[in-house]
């Protein structure tokens, strides 16, 4: 989750330019779902914060339930609808 000190259309565009799997915006807060190492994303977010300062940044790894649904959610949905 990231919250910018000054939320502008540019800040949303910068986040979209990172090609996240998904972005959910609520006011000035953005929740991104991304792939890759935490180290990689910390570096990316640090680079962005140099130009667009953050008010808050939170990075967390996916929990087991999120991983399970990511891997098997489509298969289960296909079985029900298929």
pLDDT of residue 70: 72
- Terminal Cα distance for the chain, rounded: 35
pLDDT of residue 76: 54
> Who contacts 56 (Cβ-Cβ below 8 Å, separation ≥6)?
1, 2, 3, 29
Mean pLDDT confidence for 55-75: 77
The structure's pTM equals: 0.69
Residue 2 banded pLDDT, cuts 50, 70, 90: very high
pLDDT at 81 over 70: no
Q: What is the pLDDT of residues 4-60, one digit of tens each?
A: 999 999 999 999 999 998 899 998 899 998 888 889 989 999 999 999 999 999 987
Q: Who has greater pLDDT, 45 or 68?
A: 45
């Amino acid at each position: 989750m990231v919250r910018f000190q000054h939320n502008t259309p540019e800040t949303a565009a910068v986040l979209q330019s990172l090609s996240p799997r998904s972005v959910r915006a609520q006011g000035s807060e953005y929740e991104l779902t991304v792939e890759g190492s935490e180290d990689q994303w910390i570096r990316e977010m640090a680079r962005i914060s140099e130009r667009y300062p953050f008010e808050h940044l939170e990075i967390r790894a996916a929990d087991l339930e999120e991983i399970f649904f990511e891997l098997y959610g489509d298969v289960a949905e296909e079985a029900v609808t298929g």
